Amino acid sequence: MTKYLRKVYQLLFFSFTAAIFSGAIENQGMIDFYNSFHIFPAVSNIAAHGVQPFWPVTLLVLACSLFIGRFYCSFLCPVGFLQDLGSALGKKMKTAATSVKSRRILSLFIIGYCACAVLSESSLWGWFDHFTNFGRIYNNLVRPSFNGLLLPFASILNKTSFQIDELSFIFKFDFFYALALFLALFIGSMYRPRWFCILLCPSGVIFSFLFNNSFFKIIKDGKCPACHKCEKCCPALSINDGAVDRQTCVTCLECIPACPFGTIKGRIAFDLKNEKPDDQKLNAPRRKFIEKTAIAAIGITAAGFSEKLNAFTGATGSKTILPPGAVSAEAFFSKCTACHLCASSCPTKVIIPSFLENGFHGLSKPKLDFSRGYCSYECNLCQTVCPNGAINRHDINIKQMIRIGEVSLDTSPKSNCMPVKEGKDCGACAEHCPTGAVYMKRKGDVFIPELRKKYCIGCGICEHACPISENKPIFVKPVGAQKMVPLFKDAKDKDIPVSKNPQSRNTPEPGVNNKIEEFPF
């Protein structure tokens, strides 16, 4: 029963994850609720922006592990789910899997490193964080594959409101990273179940620490006839002759009902001194060694941080266009861990992972590629979903004034622009411009585009809409720091015909009977 209950939980949470990542859920509250489950992004967000509305959930996830152990890992975590699938296949294929031995030094190193990174506003913890890594797998591997599976049904689905995306693999660094990680998690778990949770996951270290010092224990109580049923059902293979290894146990609670003799029991014991794990009875030299390692980890992080500071000294801003609310490359790259939640949920799919355009600190971080799409004027979903506050959150009317890039237009005689080069009307850039920064002006027989640069927010829709495929006459350049632009109010355009009857130029108000216009024909 517990076994199925756990799978239901895992599936539900995975569906929740997919709904958030696919952009199907746009509700701020639901998204905040989801994000508050993940310890590292949630804490990092609190560190950057203060207390978040769902902070009690974050606290509850932590507190939970004091009473029922690694509940998050076994019942919710999508990376854990992925590994459980791998180990289930391993069991079917009889791969003779064995348990991973926990490595305290490695765990200490990782937790020291990640904690320091979070505190020193460095995003380097993302390389270990399970949520970030899951996001990368989802965005670069799972989502495009899922779309591919639905593609044969496109013509049926497209007549309904359910729209599927094209096969959208981007065969660059992040695809291969995601593929390698997926294979490592899935195939690795066939041989060493839950290896990531036990060896690398920084959240796992925290949960494991809390569980080890918790009130909840899974113990062998009474006679064990060594039927090994508990060992067989354990997804982490952490039971040996009925004894549970608490370093590797993820408290899925499956062993308790699996024991036919009722020997394995979960028990709440408020006496903390009782049953100290073996490995805490360490000898002095070894303890010192661990201390040294932890210090080393802190040192390394500090070094990494200072190196990062160096990297940005004298920086000339981003070489890519960043999501609205990222402020600047410096601010953004120090917070963004590249979980790709913004990229995955972006309705126009303009956000893609970058490569080394901005150096190592910009690796995999989101950028806007206007050849793929444009930043939708009415949308601020990337700000809403960002789990660690790297993209600052704004109301939509504020977001509509944030300049993320700067338009550049060439209508000189050697330009590629349709009306200039071929003398044919086009107007694609101006018709799409949401701010009035690009408009058409009559020049001879045709209308050519003109700029009112100070209203441009760099959404890139002009570049995206321009029919010229190479050397576009209109394109958007990155800016050093994102700033607010004024709103374009009614401009005095003499070249555009305006009604001669001033009375008719009103906003439509249904019910108000103005002067009845005569038919001009």
Partner 1 sequence: MKISRRDFIKMGIGAGIALTCGNFADALFAEEKKSATADMVAIRNGNAAQMFEAGIKELGGMSRFVKSGQIVVVKPNIGWAKNPADGATTSPDLVAKIIEHAYKAGAKKVYVFDNTCNEWSKCYNLSGIEKASKDAKASVSPANKKESYKKKSAEKAKILKNAEVHELYLEADVIINVPILKHHGGAQMTSTLKNLMGVVWDRKFWHGNGLHECIAEFPLYRKPELNIIDAYSVMLKNGPRGTSASDLALKRMQIIGTDMVAMDTAAAKIMELDPAKIAYLPLAEKLGIGTMAIDKLTINKVTL
Q: Applying CB under 8 A, which residues contact partner 1?
A: 154-155, 158-161, 163-164, 166, 347-348, 376-379, 418, 424-428, 430-436, 439-440, 447, 465-468, 488-491, 493, 496-501, 504-510, 513-514, 516-517, 519-521
DSSP-assigned beta bridge partners for residue 407: 476
Minimum CB distance to partner 1, residue 451 (Å): 13
Report which of 354, 348, 367, 357 is spatially closest to residue 461, judged by C-alpha positions. 348
Minimum CB distance to partner 1, residue 353 (Å): 21
Are the CB atoms for 99 and 192 separated by under 8 Å?
yes
DSSP-assigned beta bridge partners for residue 266: 218
Are the CB atoms for 221 and 256 separated by under 8 Å?
no
Minimum CB distance to partner 1, residue 512 (Å): 9
Minimum CB distance to partner 1, residue 346 (Å): 10
In this complex, which beta carbon is closest to partner 1, that of residue 357 or of residue 425? 425
Whose tokens are 């209308």? That residue is 447
In this complex, which beta carbon is closest to partner 1, that of residue 21 or of residue 125? 21
Centre a 10 Å sphere on the Cβ of residue 131 and count the other Cβ atoms it contains: 26
DSSP-assigned beta bridge partners for residue 474: 409
In this complex, which beta carbon is closest to partner 1, that of residue 92 or of residue 505? 505
Minimum CB distance to partner 1, residue 403 (Å): 17
C-alpha to C-alpha distance for 251 and 219, rounded to whole angstroms: 12
DSSP for 13-40 reads: HHHHHHHHHTT----HHHHHHHHTTSHH
Are the CB atoms for 338 and 136 separated by under 8 Å?
yes
Minimum CB distance to partner 1, residue 250 (Å): 39
In this complex, which beta carbon is closest to partner 1, that of residue 241 or of residue 431? 431
Residue 423: φ, ψ to 5°? 65, 30
Q: Give burial (CB, 10 Å; 0-12/13-18/19+) of 224.
A: middle
In this complex, which beta carbon is closest to partner 1, that of residue 255 or of residue 465? 465
Q: Give burial (CB, 10 Å; 0-12/13-18/19+) of 302.
A: middle
In this complex, which beta carbon is closest to partner 1, that of residue 246 or of residue 399? 399
Minimum CB distance to partner 1, residue 155 (Å): 5
In this complex, which beta carbon is closest to partner 1, that of residue 1 or of residue 156? 156
